[in-house]
Structure 1
Amino acid sequence: MAGDIVLQTTGLSGGYGSIQVLFGIDLTVRRGETVALCGPNGVGKSTLVRMISGLSRPSAGTVFLNGLDVTGVPGARRPRLGMSTVIGQQAFGSLSVRDNLRMHTYPVNRTDEKPTTSVDGALAVFPRLRARADQPASTLSGGERQMLVLAKTLIQRPDVLLIDEFSLGLAPVVVGGLLELIRRLATAGVGTLLIEQSVNVAMSVADRLLFMEHGTIIAEHTPAELRESPDLARRLVLGGHAS
């Protein structure tokens, strides 16, 4: 059951230079809750993730992490405060899988746990990665690289996890395994904001779905509400402002 608010944005606006992309975004994610952000390409979903994670600065509005105003905190410092971000399948290709994970122990250091212990624990969750632990990350498949960035999340032990374009280009069987990890993180109290193109994927894991259009959130529904009204889901995901 979701608890206290771990992530909140109020009036978040901004874009790139003179081009405004977001217009007053208000959202919340509670502890142990998974919230999916859906909508067609170009509506501002990835821009929102960048601003929440500190990779871009908003022109207005506030980002709160566990009640703390982190709007001006650089993105590199946010993992120490409890925020972890997964964008794409980024990895250091020339480093081994194990060394990639070890790299992510340094900016966190939020517990007294030894880096080796946390890396071994993350590998234990992903047998496929453990079998390739000493191979360069450049040799991994797309699904394995996504596992690697999620294994990084286990090491960072965030209070809130931001994931952009989660299932893009991955086989359904791989997506299913990664969704199970998100469910396990939710059970452990991690709040997740998931950017997802596939409403079906989002409905299978999210507690709430938010729909964006023209840089604003136009609707919020539970999976049960969308299953009862398939036409509503189709209109929202195609960018139709359903009443």
Structure 2
Amino acid sequence: MSSPALVADGIRASYGPLQVLFDTSVRVEQGEMVALLGPNGVGKSTLLKVIGGLLTPDAGTVSIFGQDVTSAPSRKRVEAGLCQVVGQSSFSSLTVTENLLMHGFANSSRKWTKEATEAALAVFPRLHARRNQLASTLSGGERQMLALAKTIVGDPKVLVVDEFSLGLAPVVVGGLMDLVRRLNERGSSILLVEQSVNVALSLVHRAYVMEKGEIIAEEDAAVLAADPARVQALMLGGHMEDAG
């Protein structure tokens, strides 16, 4: 039986004396798209830091395809296939093309990196038209496209996307959702951290709901989407038994 693509199991994490995560567990099977839902301040970003190796947990484990990476540096997690897209991060002083080429330096094949860069630009005509512009001159939607385009160059096995719809026009979000679906079809297992419930549930197979550092629900996305009252109760901090 194949190992899950990503498992964070029993994670406890703190910032100094302040505990933020309380035995938090999420699991993404190979080829699966999973959402982590919840309002700001419930611990989603802290969990991503633990998964990415930017914060050492007080307890619990993180594994990628069965490999325990709890104590491994971020570089080792990238080598294991993990890629995280957080916000609209890019090198503002580099062009669009240079940003994509930089993201491919982890791959030993320069020929593959160049081909993957062209493939990424082909997915986004707007980026292709701006390929020689500095990243600092792009709009918010274009910077988000660039952040996701870099994942194509990175060819991730496990992709973690944090709040990719935040502040973007619906038409831009729709295009980004199509790209995430395509990445999943190409074999990437995906964990989507998102405030917009409608965006997330229309995209993923399964969803976790987080409140005050704990997972309070794990649901099939289609079932949850069909029950708006339950969604509302969960997002307001109500446990499953309160949503009926």
Q: Fold match, TM over 0.5?
A: yes
2:144 aligned to which of 131, 143, 146: 146
Residues 164-173 or 233-242, more deviating: 233-242
The AA in structure 2 aligned to 1:23 is: F
Give unmatched runs, 5+ long, in structure 2.
none
Q: Please name the residue that 2:169 is paired with.
A: 171
Q: 1:231 aligns with which of 208, 229, 232?
A: 229
Whether the 8 Å contact between 1:39 and 1:211 is mirrored in structure 2 is yes
Indicate conservation of the 8 Å contact 1:54/1:71, yes or no.
Answer: yes
**2:25 matched residue in structure 1:** 26
Q: Deviations over 1:107-166 (max 9, x none)?
A: x21657432222112111111111101000001111110110111101111110011112
The gaps in structure 1 that reach 5 residues or longer are: none
User: Could you tell me which residue of structure 1 aligns to residue 72 of structure 2?
Assistant: 73
- CA-to-aligned-CA distance 1:165-207 (integer Å, 9 cap, x gap): 1210000000000001111111112111111101100111010
TM-score norm. by structure 2 comes to 0.94
The letter for the 1-side match of 2:112 is K
Residue 240 of structure 1: CA displacement?
1.9
Whole-angstrom distance in 2 between the partners of 1:13 and 1:5: 21
- The structural deviation recorded for 1:219 is 0.3
1:97 deviates by 0.5
Do the aligned partners of 1:32 and 1:185 also contact (CA within 8 Å) in 2? no
CA distance in structure 2 between the partners assigned to 1:26 and 1:72 by the alignment: 17
User: What CA distance in whole angstroms lies between the structure 2 residues aligned with 1:14 and 1:213?
Assistant: 15
Contact 2:85–2:162 (8 Å) recurs in 1: yes
1:78 aligns to what SS in structure 2? helix
Any residues of structure 2 matched to 1:1-243 within 5 Å, and which? 4-106=3-105, 108-109=106-107, 113-243=111-241
Number of residue pairs matched?
240
TM-score with structure 1 setting the length: 0.94
Look up the SS of the partner of 2:5 in the other structure: strand
Q: Alignment identity in percent?
A: 53
Deviates more, 1:195-204 or 1:218-227: 218-227
